[in-house]
Chain A
Amino acid sequence: MTSKGLTTVTTFRKGLVLALGITMTAVSAAACGGDGDVPAAAGPNEHVELTLATFTEFGYEALIPEYERLHPNIKITHRKTGQGGPYAQDMMTKLAAGSGLADVQAVEEGHLSDILSKSSKFNDLSKIGPSSVQPDRWLSWKYDAGKDKNGKLIGYGTDIGPLAMCYRKDLLAAAGLPSDSEAVKPLFATWDSYFAAGAQYTAKTGKAWFDSAAQNFNSMVNQLPVGYLDTSDKLTVENNQGIKDAWAKVTDAVAKGESAKLTAFSNEWNSGFKQSAFATKACPAWMLGVIKEQAGPDNAGKWAVTAAFPGGGGNWGGSYLTVPAQSKHPREAAELAAWLTAPEQQIKAFEAKGNFPSQAKALESPQLLNATDAYFGGAKIGELFAEQAKKVSKPQYKGPNDGQIQENVSSPALQSVEQGASAADGWQRLIDGAKKLTR
């Protein structure tokens, strides 16, 4: 009995030793996945399999077969994830594990600061990418945001979300405010004029002016020369007058009842469109589809969009294509990424899925400039958003954890103010949370 018992115990121990062995090799592998030499490009006839990972809709479905036709030696597997959340976790797991990332990996703007702070895990596209790809392919702010602190180019820009203002013509008119797309522009000239118009609207109608405080606050912070972190990755929040002012203005508007207090993309926010719970909405290009879907056909013609945004321009959303250092075929991958992000292709993606292109040439193409939207009174949305895209100033430096501070600290802090906390308490939460994250 004892000896038989021992056999099991030894097998068990062997299992333990085996597991330990895997631990050690894996841990060392995970720890040593840094900058290596970039493998040489494969020969022109050598068969190469590439993977491309994207999330939501990039509009690449028809482009991939086209690329394979142009490059018969390349076979592309497209790994498409629906939602950003699972996609981010998948990417993070494989980054930490040191293997499994796609050869071309899409990264959303909100996650870019995390990726840039781990730039050793990605290839410098300015070195391995085709030499024909020059910075002037993109809007300069989009291109510059894809570089890390040392100027290493981590991502080629795909699309953008230039900000304009969407508003309810009928509600503004009923409140005695201008509602014509030209006449309304002064209301949306600066944040002060925007909140002042809101105060007027709310006082008159007793209804909310905008959907939620967080989206305005984020836009305001993004327009500042220095964001949550400075270029030495130090937290600025406590002494950043711009952020303090933005906080004061937004929370003041909340106190005046200007916010409908609906968390973006929540179920109640969706309903809010149909219930006419708010009159204006910060509107990146892709938001038009959301409004159309949520407000429904009953509200057709009531929503309008105008080429103005408080404080100048702004951007919300859009992505980059990166080539992780894990890739075995970085040069071929970079070539594919370069091709996909060329103006000709991004215009096709715009036509397929409405992704607004970030390429200077694409913004001048007739397909884009002639695009209109009947739901928004036939507005020339292509021209309008191209104009807004050019208003975006140079990109603000985004340090590590910048995205988390916005999503998990400042937005919830504002939400807590909307739920009844005092502005001072909310501000303290913002400071404490940001400090905890960047410690």
Chain B
Amino acid sequence: MSVQMSLRARAAQLGKPRKATYGVLIVFVLGSLFPFYWSFLVASRDNGMLTERIPPLLPGGNFFANAARVFDTVPFWRALGNSVLVSGTVTLTTVLFSSLAGFAFAKLRFRGRNGLFVFIVVTLAVPTQLGIIPLFIAMSKLGWAGGLQSVIVPNLVTAFGVFWMRQYTVDALPYELIEAARVDGCSMIRIFWNVCLPAVRPAAAILAMFTFMTSWNDFLWPLVVLDAGNPTVQVALEKLQSGYYVDYSLVLAGTTLATIPILIVFLLLGRQIVAGIMQGAVKG
């Protein structure tokens, strides 16, 4: 009994971090934060900082002045609106369609399942650099070039998303749950919505974070295809880097501003990556 007790005590200790653990994490996070802090430092000072032998460690007082120059130089708010619309739409549809496809590939039986799935994974291996020319031809033929749909439609759902959601769903969603719902007379879509989606929430949250960020930072394709007056944030900010030398305090003030929405999305979605939804489900 006492042995049993000590095991229980150890089980209760499972997952409790040690102090050293926090130390390791702090190192990682400081390394991650450094470029952001450094960007902010430059954005709050002037260009001279870049060639200083020993760069200053504290921000200067120019950030708002530099930010104001960003707003004067580029149509920031319009670009921000476009980016929110594009990245928001793409994130929603990618997560929805990828989860649906992932559910089908992981848990439903249908003819051609394996072949179609392998096909999707293989499309990931296609180098994307050249695609921009034929894609532009296709968009021109469709009459979409210039409009926001030209940057939304190609990213409505990605092979990456389908692959990820399928891999996650395989283990995260027990067949017992699906069977139970079937016995209760649930339709397929209802099983997806009420059983599968809650079970794959952490994976969907991560996919949403990645998709939003990738879409938000996408540059070359939007630059080529969008109309000059209707840019996304990254396309608009690119104009700050003009001339024979770059005013980095201006450029980094712009990128700092453009990072804020990503951070908001991260914080909102980061909470969704939580354990415990399915715990107990297997037992029951």
Contact = CB atoms under 8 A, between A and B. Distances in A.
So, do A and B actually touch in the complex, CB under 8 Å? yes
A89 B242 contact: no
A98 interface: yes
A96 interface: yes
A94 B141 CA distance: 13
B244 A56 contact: yes
B241 to A, nearest CB: 4
B224 interface: yes
B134 to A, nearest CB: 7
B245 interface: yes
B223 A90 contact: yes
A83 B242 CA distance: 6
A273 B238 contact: no
Contacts of A81: 223, 238-239, 242
Contact of B133 (A23, A93, A270, A297): A93
A389 B268 CA distance: 59
Interface string B62-74: 0000000000000
A2 interface: yes
Interface stretch (B47-55, B165-173, B208-216): B47-55
A97 B239 contact: no
Given A57-B242, A77-B228, A1 B111 contact: yes
Interface string B235-257: 00011111111000000000000
A80 B228 contact: yes
A8 B115 CA distance: 14
Contact of B51 (A8, A23, A30, A294): A294
A294 B89 CA distance: 43
B228 A86 contact: no
Given A5-B111, A26-B138, A51 B228 contact: yes
A90 B241 contact: no
A1 B243 CA distance: 63
A43 interface: no
B239 A22 contact: no
Given A77-B227, A78-B228, A80-B228, A26 B137 contact: yes
A22 B138 contact: yes
21 contacts: A30-B137, A55-B242, A56-B242, A56-B244, A77-B228, A78-B228, A81-B242, A82-B238, A82-B241, A82-B242, A83-B242, A86-B220, A86-B238, A89-B224, A90-B223, A94-B136, A94-B224, A96-B133, A97-B140, A289-B243, A293-B245
A205 interface: no
Given A30-B137, A77-B227, A93 B243 contact: no
A8 B101 CA distance: 14
B112 interface: yes
A97 B136 contact: yes
B136 A25 contact: no
Contact of A25 (B47, B141, B220): B141
B110 interface: yes
A23 B135 CA distance: 10
A97 B47 CA distance: 39
A290 interface: yes
A82 B134 contact: no
Interface string A271-313: 1011000000000001101100110110000000000000000
A186 interface: no
A98 B228 contact: no
Interface in A39-98: 51, 55-57, 77-83, 86, 89-90, 93-94, 96-98
Interface in B145-181: 145
Contacts of B48: 296-297
Given A83-B238, A99-B145, A294-B245, 15 more contacts: A2-B111, A56-B242, A56-B243, A81-B223, A81-B238, A81-B239, A82-B240, A86-B219, A90-B223, A93-B132, A97-B133, A97-B136, A273-B51, A286-B244, A289-B244
A67 B245 CA distance: 29
A25 B140 CA distance: 12
Interface in B38-91: 47-48, 50-51
A36 interface: no
Contacts of B224: 89-90, 93-94, 100
Question: Nearest 9 pairs between A and B by C-beta?
Answer: A79-B228, A82-B242, A26-B137, A82-B241, A274-B51, A5-B111, A293-B245, A97-B136, A56-B242
B242 to A, nearest CB: 4
Contact of A290 (B137, B227, B245): B245
B218 to A, nearest CB: 13
Interface residues of B, number: 31
B241 A22 contact: no
Interface in A17-43: 22-23, 25-26, 29-30
Q: Which of B111, B140, B141, B243 has the most CB of A within 10 A?
A: B243
A290 B140 contact: no
A57 B244 CA distance: 9
Contacts of B280: none
Contacts of A294: 51, 245
Contacts of B136: 93-94, 97, 99-100
B15 interface: no
Nearest to B142: A22
Contact of B243 (A5, A23, A30, A57): A57
A347 B173 CA distance: 70
Given A1-B111, A81-B223, A100-B140, A289 B245 contact: yes
A273 B110 CA distance: 67
A80 B74 CA distance: 11
A294 B137 CA distance: 42
B227 to A, nearest CB: 7
Interface in B11-48: 47-48
Nearest to B241: A82
B185 interface: no
Contact of B244 (A1, A5, A287): A287
- Interface-centre pick from B112, B141, B227 (highest chain A CB count, 10 A): B141
